Structures are given as structure tokens and as C-alpha cells.
Amino acid sequence: MLQLSIIIPTYCEAENLTVLIPRVNQALTAASLDAEIIVVDDDSPDETIQVCQTLAEKFPLRLITRKDERGLSTAVIAGLEAATGEILLVMDADLSHPPENIPELVSALNQPQADFVIGSRYVEGGSTDQSWGWFRKWNSRVATWLSRPFTSARDPLAGFFAIKRQTYRKARQILNPVGYKIGLELIVKCRCRNVVEIPIDFADRVSGTSKLSFKEQLRYLKHLKRLFDFKFQNYAYFIQFALIGLTGVFVNLQMLSLLSNWISSPVAVALAIWSSMSTNFLLNRNITFSYAKHAPIFKQYLTYCGSCLTGAIFNWLTTMTLSQSFQFFEKRILLAAFIGILVGMGFNFLLCRYLVFSKHKSADEPTATDKELKHTE
């Protein structure tokens, strides 16, 4: 089997490819690596395709053109699927990742205990471009810091990494990234424990433009949420459910203070409860249990109201039982009420998770592409 497959996602990188591919090839030859280069292009309107065709005459390069899909992560997955090498290495086309580091990444991954190798900017000896301003530095640092719950790697967002084919294949059915951070997705989903980082000097692109927009950065947050749900499951859902519950308290109090100027207080209280219940419902449907947001909303809303009522009844029963049956709680009614709230919330959460938003089509299910690929195997 081929030793190595190098996957390069591209969108309008004609100029950079003419420099990159010979440099990659030189690094491969110097290290006597038997490799293929797979360029995954999303039908770039510049000369990327023609350039690849010309380069393929001279170098071991294969071009995959995707006509109806766009996106860095899915392009990388398409490349990983097409690859035939024992080791799969991913890098950018814009010369940010020095190809001269490829052999080092490969030999680090050849150590038996290594699952994943990163060409890292943030370990000793690594660097980013001198021209980075404070905003870019902080932006990158914050994004990296947000990945901390998932990995202790210093630079899991680098985009320059290698993984063993057998490790990748364990998780290929459950990959479901959005946006740019396919490396982090692989570390989490392939359950890579031993991540090795090789220092690199990350250079800024000279030709062409970056495709990392603000929208992509928002997608990263969405991706983090998916990984959070995947890794922490019910704990993750519960934390989101509780935080949304907290926002409901504010909605309720705000509505009450607004409405009590206009209408009698029993009606105002009822309306305030109804509004916070509704905002909680919408937020839970779109965020916490977003896997179920395509199910019919009306039925969900009715069962949600039922579940809130059940939670409220359990809350009441707990508070009353504690305060009337235990001397300790007689003088501590607020503590009893607090425990009642927790019990009620627990019931409400379980009903929401398994009844109201029960259709569990979560991020760990195969993507459409994975299913298609499976059929073609």
C-alpha cells in the first residue's frame, strides 16, 4: 500500500499550486516517501483546474472536482475518502504550511503510540507570521482556547495534520463538521488520545485571498456545540437546558414588570409565565435539542407545555412534602423551594430530552455523504 496521501483542499489557488506542488514533491523525494497528492477543488472559477491538469503530467497528483458542494471540511473528507495511503496528511494550498515539514509529521505519526500529528504554530519552536496584528492573534487564541474541553493540543485548529488511515476509518461514519475545523473534528470523533505536535513556521499567504469569513467563524461556534453534545451527551444538554431556563427567569420578570402597569396582576403573572415558557421552548428547540428542530412544532409545543406542567407539579409536591414532613425544612422554606425547583427541572429536562424532543438525529449520525460513500464501497 502507498505510504502517504497528501490532501490539499483548494478554492482559487492556481498561483499557489504552481509553487506548492513542486515543493511538496521535492520534500517527498528528499525523504524517499512514496506518496500521492490529492487536490480537492470546488470548481474554482480561476485556473486551478487547468493548473492541476498540467501539474498532474509531472507529479503524482490527482484532482477531485466537486461541482455541487462547497466548504473546506467536506472537501477534506472527500479527499480522505479517495485517499489510498497508509497515512493521510492534510495541508492548505496557500503556502502557509511549509511542505518541508511533511516528512517530520509522517515520522512522528509512525511512532506506534501516536494517533494524530499536528504541524503546530503554538508549541515551542513554532511561529505565526510576523505581520499578525493583535486582533488576528487574539482571534486565533480565543478560537484555540474554545477547543480546550476537547483536546489538550496547543494548536488543534492548524489545518496541517496527519492521521493514520486505520484511525480515520474508525470514525468516518460519524463525521459531521461545519466550517473550517476538520482537524478538531477528527481528533474528537476518532478519539485521538496521543496527539503529537511538530513546530512549524506558519507563513501568511502571498497570493490569492483567505476564504475565512465572519460567517465561517460563526460556523465554528456551531461546530463546537456539536462536539460538546457529542462528547458530553446528556451533561451537555442539561447545561444548555439550565442556562436557557435562566434566561427564562429574566424574560418572566421583564414581562411582569412591563405588563403589570397595564393589566391586573393575575393575568400579568400568567402572561409572564407563558412568555418565558415560550421563549424557553424556542431556544431549547433551536439550540439545546436542535437535532429535533425539523419535527412538527405545534405538537412539540403542546407536549412541551405538558412537560412544564409536570415539572411544576413535581416542584410543588417536593416543596410541600419537604416543608411539611421535615422539621428541618419548616423554618427553611426557601431551601425546600430550591430543592423543589431542582427536582421539577430534572423531570422537565428528562421529559424534554426523551419525549418532547425525542427524535434523536444527532451530530453523531452519519452525514449524507458518508451514507452515499458506504453504498459505493
Site for ligand GDD in 14-73 (CB under 6 A): 40-42, 70-72
Q: Which residues of 296-305 are buried (b: 16+ CB within 10 A; e: fewer)?
A: eeeebbebbe
Burial bucket for residue 325 (CB in 10 Å: 0-12, 13-18, 19+): exposed
By the rule CB under 6 A, 156 interacts with ligand GDD: no
Q: How many whole angstroms from its chain centre is CA 172?
A: 15
- For residues 190 and 171, the answer to whether their CB atoms sit within 8 Å is yes
Place of cell 418532547: 356
By the rule CB under 6 A, 150 interacts with ligand GDD: no
Which position among 50, 65, 84, 210 is part of the footprint of ligand GDD (CB under 6 A)? 210
Select the span of 93-101, 164-172, 304-312, 326-334 touching ligand GDD (CB under 6 A): 93-101
Residue number with CB closer to ligand GDD (11 or 230): 11
Among the listed residues 82, 100, 97, 118, the one whose alpha carbon sits nearest the alpha carbon of residue 7 = 82
Residue number with CB closer to ligand GDD (93 or 277): 93
Helices (H), the chain: 14-30, 48-58, 72-82, 102-109, 134-145, 165-171, 182-189, 214-259, 265-283, 297-325, 327-330, 333-351, 368-376
- 289 vs 361: CA distance, rounded Å: 10
Site for ligand GDD in 173-202 (CB under 6 A): 180
Q: Which residues contact 179 (CB under 8 A, 6 or more apart)?
A: 71, 72, 73, 216, 219, 220, 222, 223
- 185 vs 172: CA distance, rounded Å: 11
CB of 72 to Mn ion, least distance (A): 10
Q: Which of ligand GDD, Mn ion, none interacts with 180 (beta carbon under 5 to 8 A by kind)?
A: ligand GDD
Residue number with CB closer to Mn ion (81 or 92): 92
Q: How many whole angstroms from its chain centre is CA 92?
A: 19
- For residues 105 and 117, the answer to whether their CB atoms sit within 8 Å is yes
Burial bucket for residue 321 (CB in 10 Å: 0-12, 13-18, 19+): middle
Select the span of 16-24, 180-188, 204-212, 246-254 touching Mn ion (CB under 5 A): 204-212
CB of 22 to ligand GDD, least distance (A): 16
Which position among 75, 106, 322, 363 is part of the footprint of ligand GDD (CB under 6 A)? 75
CB of 82 to ligand GDD, least distance (A): 13
Among the listed residues 354, 244, 348, the one whose alpha carbon sits nearest the alpha carbon of residue 288 = 244
Residue number with CB closer to ligand GDD (80 or 272): 80
Site for Mn ion in 88-117 (CB under 5 A): 94, 96
CB of 100 to ligand GDD, least distance (A): 17
By the rule CB under 6 A, 157 interacts with ligand GDD: yes
Which position among 142, 206, 212, 218 is part of the footprint of ligand GDD (CB under 6 A)? 212
CB of 84 to ligand GDD, least distance (A): 20
Where along the sequence are the contacts to ligand GDD (CB under 6 A)?
A: 9-11, 13, 40-42, 70-72, 75, 92-94, 96, 140, 157, 159, 180, 205, 210-212
Where along the sequence are the contacts to Mn ion (CB under 5 A)?
A: 94, 96, 205
